[in-house]
Amino acid sequence: MRVVLAEDLALLRDGMIRLLDAHHIEVVAAVDNGPSLVREAVQHRPDLAIVDVRLPPSFTDEGIRAALEARQQLPDLPVLVLSQYVEQLYARELLAQGTGGVGYLLKDRVSDIAGFVDTVRRVAAGGTAMDPEVIATLLSRQGSRSPIAALTPRETEVLSLMAEGRSNAAIAAAMFVTEKAVGKHTNSIFGKLGLQQSDDDNRRVLAVLAFLESAPH
């Protein structure tokens, strides 16, 4: 797997390079600003871009804007966003493009090496991986007019675990229910959100997008 990394903190950037290399993931370019991310992504066409939301010069949203720009030229580029804060609007913008894998992790999660590497591989493969703290924040902000409000508490729990990128088997294990039960909840979620029959992976991404869209802007 080949990765382009954009992180302005040199220690964290070097640490991630070593961590990924130890797990046979090659960092083909490591940069500290948005324009360089776009340039290196277009040049190398990596399997994944790992991007800090806040990059120089203003440290606001340069990273995410660069990721969106890179996706305009490489529509299927998977993007894993790293942030020091819960900023769910950025995750929504990436998922709304409907192409490529999308992950959103708080930087603290990098210290969980196994979990971080698993997320990198999952997003590179086209899946989603939302940080549990982001999910919890979104759930706390749901309004009664949200389409998510129609879901039962059990279905909401399934959707939040789905947003983290877990498979039906992993959701079943986390909830101590059968995989068949998770499948029934998943189908009910798709129905209530008005997602027509299609590729299951695609519907899972659309369900996560609906989840993000339900949060106040």
Phi/psi of residue 109, nearest 5 degrees: -70, -20
- What pLDDT does residue 14 have? 95
Topology, domain 2-130: Rossmann fold (3.40.50)
Q: Which two tokens stand for residue 40?
A: 């290196």
Q: Would the pTM of this model clear 0.85, i.e. be above it?
A: no
Provide the 3-class DSSP secondary structure of residue 91.
helix
In this chain, the answer to whether the domains covering 2-130 and 135-213 adopt an identical fold is no
Of 122, 121, 118, 102, nearest in space to 51 by CA: 102
Q: Which two tokens stand for residue 160?
A: 């939040």
User: Whole-angstrom Cα distance, residue 79 to residue 35?
Assistant: 16
User: What band does 126 get if pLDDT is binned at 50, 70 and 90?
Assistant: confident
pLDDT of 41 above 80: yes
- What pLDDT does residue 96 have? 67
- What pLDDT does residue 145 have? 62
Q: Which two tokens stand for residue 138?
A: 């979104």
Find the mean pLDDT for residues 39-52.
96
Contact of 168 with 182, CB cutoff 8 Å: yes
- What pLDDT does residue 150 have? 83
Q: Where are the domains of the chain?
A: 2-130, 135-213
pLDDT of 217 above 50: no
Of 6, 115, 114, nearest in space to 50 by CA: 6
- What pLDDT does residue 124 have? 94
Find the mean pLDDT for residues 187-195.
86
Q: Which long-range contacts (CB under 8 A, 24 or more apart) does 175-182 make?
A: 182/158
Q: Which CATH class is domain 135-213?
A: mainly alpha
